[in-house]
Amino acid sequence: MKLIIKANPEEASRYAFEKIQEAMGSGAKVLGLATGSTPVKLYRIMRESDIDFSGMTSINLDEYMGLSEDSPHSYHHFMHEQLFDAKPFKKNYLLDGMADEKEECAQFEEIIAANPIDVQILGIGTNGHIGFNEPGTAFDSRTQKVALWQSTIDSNKRYFADEKDVPRFAYSMGIQTILSAKKIILMAFGKEKASAIKAALEGPITEELPASVLQTHKDVTVILDEEAAQMLS
């Protein structure tokens, strides 16, 4: 694992952007993307850049179940607002939260097999989740329906009018799906991520801390701000 600690999220996001640019310069064609607050600065930097993404394909990690694409809370909506409307890609693949579970997840795996992910951007949950793979998810999991933990619901309720409106289930790439990416960039900012980061980077590799599996991947760059790095030894 390569560990990069920057003074703040802005500098960390600039570094992540440079890594994406470098990968694109070396032929990367497929970006795996995340939602949530962590990549928002990165997406702003991508939007404001003069880089052309029209030859690129994107594949998103996850989507809430039961929300249609045009719901303002869907990750489809988030990605269009944050990136795709300003920077058209050749193709954007996102899971359809309204589609049949079996068919949708199998089809998504086929899409990833046909478009191997060159660079996967990840955030991390305070409980160590990656994608929506909560603690206890099997390391050999592929894209599937997942139940969100109450802590995940609580941290995502800021985007909804009421906690009750936060979907309880999602479709998510599995751990094995994520590990199939050639290169992984994990970003984490803020002190509330410090303990998950310490466990992921320095703790045992265990399904109880999904991000710890990244220790087994051969090309992972972890980009932190100082607050997220504060518990590392």
Q: Catalogue the active-site residues.
A: 62, 127, 129, 134
CB of 200 to ligand F6R, least distance (A): 12
Distance CA 137, CA 31 (A): 24
* Number of helical H runs and strand E runs in the chain: 7, 10
CB of 105 to ligand F6R, least distance (A): 16
Helix (H), strand (E) at residue 186: strand 183-188
CA distances from 88 to 47, 70, 102, 112, 179 (A): 10, 18, 29, 20, 26
Residues 35-54 that bind ligand F6R (CB under 6 A): 35-38
Pick the stretch among 21-29, 48-56, 121-129, 143-151 that binds ligand F6R (CB under 6 A): 121-129
Q: Give the N- to C-terminal CA distance of the chain in Å, as an integer.
A: 15
Pick the stretch among 3-11, 18-26, 92-100, 119-127 that binds ligand F6R (CB under 6 A): 119-127
Toward ligand F6R, which CB reaches closer, 32 or 183?
32
Toward ligand F6R, which CB reaches closer, 52 or 192?
192
Residue of 32, 97, 125, 210 interacting with ligand F6R (CB under 6 A) = 125
Verify binding: residue 97, ligand F6R, rule CB under 6 A.
no
Residue carrying structure tokens 């994990």: 186
And the tokens for 214?
């990244």
- Map residues 145-184 to x or -, x wherever contact with ligand F6R holds by CB under 6 A: ----------------------------------------
Return the closest-CA partner of residue 201 out of 189, 192, 191, 211: 211
Verify binding: residue 143, ligand F6R, rule CB under 6 A.
no
What is the identity of the amino acid at 16? A
- Map residues 193-212 to x or -, x wherever contact with ligand F6R holds by CB under 6 A: --------------------
Mark 8-20 as b/e (b = at least 16 C-beta within 10 Å): ebebbbebbbebb
Q: What is the DSSP string of 59-104?
A: EESEEETT--TTSTTSHHHHHIIIIITTS--SEEE---TTS-HHHH
Total residues at interface with ligand F6R (CB under 6 A): 14
CB of 25 to ligand F6R, least distance (A): 26
Question: Quick check: 87 and 47 in contact, CB under 8 A?
Answer: yes
Toward ligand F6R, which CB reaches closer, 59 or 61?
61
Pick the stretch among 8-16, 92-100, 130-138, 220-228 that binds ligand F6R (CB under 6 A): 130-138
Verify binding: residue 34, ligand F6R, rule CB under 6 A.
yes
Applying CB under 6 A, which residues contact ligand F6R? Answer: 34-38, 61-62, 123-125, 129-132
